[in-house]
Amino acid sequence: MAEITTLHYLVLAAALFMIGTIGVLTRRNVIIILMSIELILNAVNLNLVAFSRLYGLHGQIFAIFVITDAAAEAAVGLGIIIAFFRNKETVNVDEIDLLRW
């Protein structure tokens, strides 16, 4: 069995990043889009932790900061969804066009 190198982790992170990007670009449900953003942030975290094995603890510290940002982003994003659903009764992004001219 071949040894697991950093490249394996990077390829896995790239795959997760790609899946998250596809989710953001193709889905209409804004809750699923937020979940896809979480997938992207997790792919970045996996990169950071994989590199921290090579370069020291900095990557893990940054991963913790990314998790903090993800929590803040989820809280504000979901608050916006609730406020919007109260006004327009929809969660589809292509019907959310209040700011479109």
Question: CA-CA distance, 35 to 100, in Å (whole number)?
Answer: 24
Q: How far is the CB of 61 from other proteins (least distance, A)?
A: 5
Instruction: Tell me the CB-side half-sphere exposure of residue 48, using CA atoms within 13 A.
Output: 17
Residue pair 23/39 in contact (Cβ under 8 Å)? The answer is yes
Tell me which H or E stretch contains 41.
Answer: helix 30-55
Residue with tokens 């990314």: 66
Q: How far is the CB of 9 from other proteins (least distance, A)?
A: 7
Q: How far is the CB of 98 from other proteins (least distance, A)?
A: 15
